[in-house]
């Protein structure tokens, strides 16, 4: 009997020890030995949204999360939205993001920014850094497992199941990483993302190459997509057909130069493909001048608009979504309205914060969902913004 009790006691102690190790690893992986950046804060915030509480989900790369302001869209047009986007997201990342949106939200519309399909080759789709920036931040689900099983080499899969394996060396980057850890903790405590995924840089581009945006309204030439990316686009459209998803595509404005002009032609080709399958595609890069985008003022680099451009783009695209695409807007509870009121305030404060930097300094500062930026926003008014066209 004594031997049996000792065996049970030993088993319990070993089990508790293993459980303690497991819990410690999970805590380290969630908060400390994890690559926390604006991508992770944006994606984590998406999963904090109430189920079926979003009218529109935007999916894509930095081209969309620097261009569309959900707080502005809600304030001016009355629909709720979120940017489930990640830096240089891959075409397979786009498909998984759509699957995750269908699993968690069922929005009235999903909008995909086209960038992932417009590269001159398919190298981005095998870029490990870009893949990890999105997939490491997804909670474990059938969709994530499906991607890992079908796209990740066997010897690399553990890094996706347990990112701690890949990022165990991040302890050497402390204390510099503490502010992002604090950002993650405050996001978890607050329970929602103030900016709904929007991120920008306070800077006005000083270009060294001529802008060709004035030519784009008349540009209708098409250039073939990379064959692998075209196949993945077709697979995506097949999935959306099967699921009967209300999907539309958009191409956000860029500071187009001779070096990037072929992307415009590939965008035109993609528009033809998408339209032939019955989906809308708004080539708003070609409409930059119609939107009122000022190439001397509205970009912070050649691929991204600053807040001056983003507010114009948000208004223009919101009108397309609401009136041309006839989005059905669902009613909100009083608590949801209160939260969105805070989103509007933070968005307007962010605009004024960036405007202040760009107007009065030569500094270049990122502005996103982090404790440093949010602390600064308290110095600015959250009143409605009058655009500077």
Confidence at 5, pLDDT banded by 50, 70, 90? low
**33-377 to CATH, choices 1.20.120.160, 3.30.160.250, 3.40.50.1110, 3.40.50.300:** 3.40.50.1110
Confidence at 28, pLDDT banded by 50, 70, 90? very low
Cα 295 to Cα 200: distance, rounded to the nearest angstrom? 17
Run of H or E including 367: strand 365-367
Indicate the domain borders of the chain: 33-377
Segments of 146-251 assigned E as strands: 200-202, 247-250
Contact present, 345 and 101 (Cβ < 8 Å):
no
Flag whether pLDDT at 21 surpasses 70.
Answer: no
Q: What is the pLDDT of residues 128-138, one digit of tens each?
A: 989 989 998 89
DSSP tag of 28: I
Confidence at 386, pLDDT banded by 50, 70, 90? confident
Average pLDDT over the chain reads 89
Residue 171 has a pLDDT of 46
Full 3-state SS string of 106-118: CCCEEEEEHHHHC
The pLDDT > 70 percentage for the chain reads 86
Here the tokens at position 166 are 């890949």
Averaged pLDDT for residues 77-96: 98
Run of H or E including 355: helix 334-360
Averaged pLDDT for residues 207-231: 96
Q: 254: burial class by Cβ within 10 Å (0-12, 13-18, 19+)?
A: buried
Global confidence as pTM: 0.90
């Amino acid at each position: 009997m004594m031997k049996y009790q000792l065996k049970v006691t030993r088993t319990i102690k070993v089990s508790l020890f293993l459980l303690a190790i497991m819990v410690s690893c999970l805590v380290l992986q969630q908060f400390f030995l994890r690559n926390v950046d604006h991508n992770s804060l944006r994606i984590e915030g998406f999963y904090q949204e109430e189920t079926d509480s979003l009218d529109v989900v935007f999916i894509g790369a930095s081209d969309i999360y620097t261009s569309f302001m959900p707080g502005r869209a809600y304030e001016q047009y009355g629909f709720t939205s979120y940017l489930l986007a990640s830096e240089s997201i891959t075409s397979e990342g786009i498909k998984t993001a759509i699957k995750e949106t269908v699993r968690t939200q069922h929005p009235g519309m999903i909008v995909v920014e086209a960038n992932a399909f417009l590269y001159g080759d398919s190298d981005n789709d095998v870029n490990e850094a870009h893949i990890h920036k999105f997939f490491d931040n997804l909670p474990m689900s059938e969709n994530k497992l499906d991607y890992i099983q079908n796209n990740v080499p066997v010897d690399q899969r553990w890094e996706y199941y347990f990112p701690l394996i890949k990022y165990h060396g991040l302890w050497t980057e402390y204390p510099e990483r503490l502010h992002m850890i604090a950002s993650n903790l405050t996001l978890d405590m607050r329970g929602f993302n103030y900016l709904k995924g929007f991120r920008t840089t306070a800077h006005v581009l000083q270009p060294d190459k001529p802008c060709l945006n004035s030519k784009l309204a008349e540009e209708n030439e098409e250039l073939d997509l990379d064959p692998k990316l075209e196949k993945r686009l077709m697979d995506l459209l097949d999935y959306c057909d099967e699921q009967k998803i209300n999907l539309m595509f958009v191409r956000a404005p860029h500071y187009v130069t001779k070096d990037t002009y072929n992307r415009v032609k590939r965008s035109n080709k993609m528009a033809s493909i998408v339209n032939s399958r019955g989906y809308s595609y708004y080539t708003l890069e070609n409409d930059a001048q119609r939107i009122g985008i000022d190439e001397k003022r509205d970009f912070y680099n050649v691929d991204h608009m600053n807040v001056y451009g983003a507010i114009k783009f948000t208004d223009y695209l919101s009108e397309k979504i609401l009136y041309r695409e006839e989005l059905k807007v669902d009613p909100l509870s009083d608590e949801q309205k209160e939260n969105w009121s805070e989103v509007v305030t933070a968005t307007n404060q962010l605009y004024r914060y960036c405007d202040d930097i760009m107007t009065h300094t030569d500094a270049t500062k990122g502005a996103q969902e982090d404790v440093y930026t949010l602390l600064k926003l308290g110095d600015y008014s959250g009143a409605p913004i009058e655009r500077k066209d």
